[in-house]
A and B are shown apart, each in its own frame.
Chain A
Amino acid sequence: MLFLSQCINGLQLGSIYALVALGYSMVYGIIRLLNFAHGDVIMIGAYIALLTIGAGLHPALAVGITILGCVLISVLIEKVAYRPLRSAPRISLLITAIGVSLLLQNLVQLFFTADSRAYPSTAIIPARAIQLGGLSLSLSTVVTILVSVGAMLGLHLLIQKTRMGKAMRAVSEDTGAAQLMGIDINRVISITFAIGSALAGVGSVLYCCRYSVANPTMGSLLGLKAFVAAVLGGIGSIPGAVVGGFAIGFAEVLVTALGFSAWTDAVVFAVLIVVLLVKPTGLLGRGVAEKV
């Protein structure tokens, strides 16, 4: 029973990492950028939820506004900060992303101080236990797993079956050839950022409901872990991000269960180092196809 409940715990944490890792991988796939501001968009989402719930909005509406806010800010970041650098050296883009990340953290600190705030978890997902067989699960665990899996299935269908999804794959494989098809790559890149950050918005709500606090730097660690998950799965690979996310979630829960909870972060970064040394393309990554 203990084993099973730990597995479910791993599944919950893993699904959050997977949602966030998907955003990293999708953006990397399409413009070869490690978007270090991705974690901070999740942090912004946390503050939007704080404010909207604080203002007395219905939780469902607050969640909707949170997701929309994450989408708008990401699309704006791409337009203002990344698009002008489309043909600049990759390193300029990377440094810009780090700059955007710091900017967002400091802006939020300016308006809301650096203090941690209690996140209204129970307003969004009521604290209730669900009996499943002999297992007692919290509603928030069940909701997290179901919503994440649902979002991933939705993403899978979108990418595999829709015209826009196919265009996204085409742009990520060969941007120039995609333009020759008449695909408007700016639009496709915007939509990729929008989808990735919608998943991040969902991830933001679920993550904050698990830990019940928000602060201006919360995005860094979550973002880094999701980044490790994306690299472990193979950066750029959608199934890889999911596999990597669950692997990191399970690893953390396992390390904690063994009594080494202080070591969880170290273990996650050890995973990154091992992957980079042994198999830099990750578990499901393709060979490094350089773009022309």
Chain B
Amino acid sequence: MMLEVRDLTVYYDNIRALKGVSFSVEEGEIMTLIGANGAGKTTTLITLSGLKKAQSGSIRFLGKEITKTTPQSRVALGISQSPEGRRVFPGLTVLENLEMGAYLRKDDFAPDMEKVFRYFPRLRERKKQSAGTLSGGEQQMLAMGRALMSRPKLMLLDEPSMGLSPLLVAEIFEIIRRLNESGTTILLVEQNAALALKLCHRAAVMETGRIVLAGTGEELSRSPAVQKAYLGG
């Protein structure tokens, strides 16, 4: 098991956003979390990368207990996140954003930058531009490219399709599939449940801070409850 989350409880002041969340991600798979707005998907991901501290519960990554470690030590271990809303550094150029993604790397990361540009050719054309001038789709590509620069073993993707045209969404999902095929394990959070369930190996459904259903993508697609709540019928 690459990632094991047990009974995670997380608070914002006195609001309990996660009420004992448990799931796991296996090496090599795409696991996806779906669920309505406010279910706790983003909270789950930022707790995994250490921006948010867990009140109780445990996170194990590659056999190591990381629940109380710093965000930078988790990046060093191989967890990398493309956050909700992209959060590229708007005043930094595309190249500088990618460099920041490689912040902890001591070795030469030029080949990784080349790899990012092969996945996202449009970033190469814009590499000297400041990230704030990019379109939403390009910023999403940059956020993912930036997350790749640390050579993650596990990539956390928070709503990569948000606000993008269907054509761009298809493009981004195709790249997620290719990333996974080339060996990166992926934990994907999506509102676009139909696409996410088709792409993933396994999935879980979150509702108000809990995981209420889990199974393979196919099983969940066929579940009447999921169809009714998330697949429009």
A residues touching B (Cβ–Cβ < 8 Å)? 163, 166-167, 169-170, 173-174, 176-184, 286
Q: Point out the residues of chain B lying under 8 angstroms from A180, CB to CB.
A: 49, 51, 71, 75, 80-81, 83, 87, 147
- The reply to whether B89 and A179 contact each other, CB–CB distance below 8 Å, is no
17 CB < 8 A contacts A-B? A163-B99, A163-B103, A169-B91, A169-B92, A173-B90, A176-B46, A177-B83, A178-B100, A179-B49, A179-B50, A179-B72, A180-B49, A181-B101, A181-B104, A182-B71, A182-B76, A183-B100
B146 is an interface residue with CB less than 8 A from chain A = yes
- The reply to whether A173 and B91 contact each other, CB–CB distance below 8 Å, is yes
- Which parts of B59-108 form the interface with A (CB within 8 Å)? 70-72, 75-76, 80-81, 83, 87-92, 96, 99-101, 103-104
Bound-state CA distance A177–B75 (Å) is 12
**Category for how many chain B residues contact A:** 20 to 34
**Best-surrounded residue of A166, A174, A183, A286 (most CB of chain B within 10 A):** A166
B residues touching A (Cβ–Cβ < 8 Å)? 46, 49-51, 70-72, 75-76, 80-81, 83, 87-92, 96, 99-101, 103-104, 146-147, 150
CB-CB nearest in chain A for B156: A180
Q: Point out the residues of chain A lying under 8 angstroms from B70, CB to CB.
A: 184
Select A183's contact among B83, B103, B146, beta carbons within 8 Å: B103
Bound-state CA distance A180–B49 (Å) is 7
Known: A166-B96, A174-B89. A182 touches B83 (CB 8 A): no
- The reply to whether B72 and A182 contact each other, CB–CB distance below 8 Å, is yes
Q: Point out the residues of chain B lying under 8 angstroms from A178, CB to CB.
A: 89, 100
Bound-state CA distance A100–B214 (Å) is 54
Bound-state CA distance A169–B99 (Å) is 13
Select B92's contact among A173, A176, A286, beta carbons within 8 Å: A173
Interface of A (DSSP majority class): helix
Bound-state CA distance A178–B76 (Å) is 14
CB-CB nearest in chain B for A176: B51
**Best-surrounded residue of A173, A174, A180 (most CB of chain B within 10 A):** A180
**Best-surrounded residue of B51, B72, B83 (most CB of chain A within 10 A):** B72
**Best-surrounded residue of B70, B80, B90, B100 (most CB of chain A within 10 A):** B100
Given contacts A181-B146, A184-B70, 14 further A-B contacts (CB under 8 A): A166-B92, A167-B100, A169-B89, A169-B92, A170-B89, A170-B92, A173-B91, A177-B89, A178-B89, A180-B71, A180-B81, A180-B87, A182-B103, A183-B103
Bound-state CA distance A163–B146 (Å) is 15
Q: Point out the residues of chain B lying under 8 angstroms from A179, CB to CB.
A: 49-51, 71-72
CB-CB nearest in chain A for B149: A181
Bound-state CA distance A184–B51 (Å) is 12
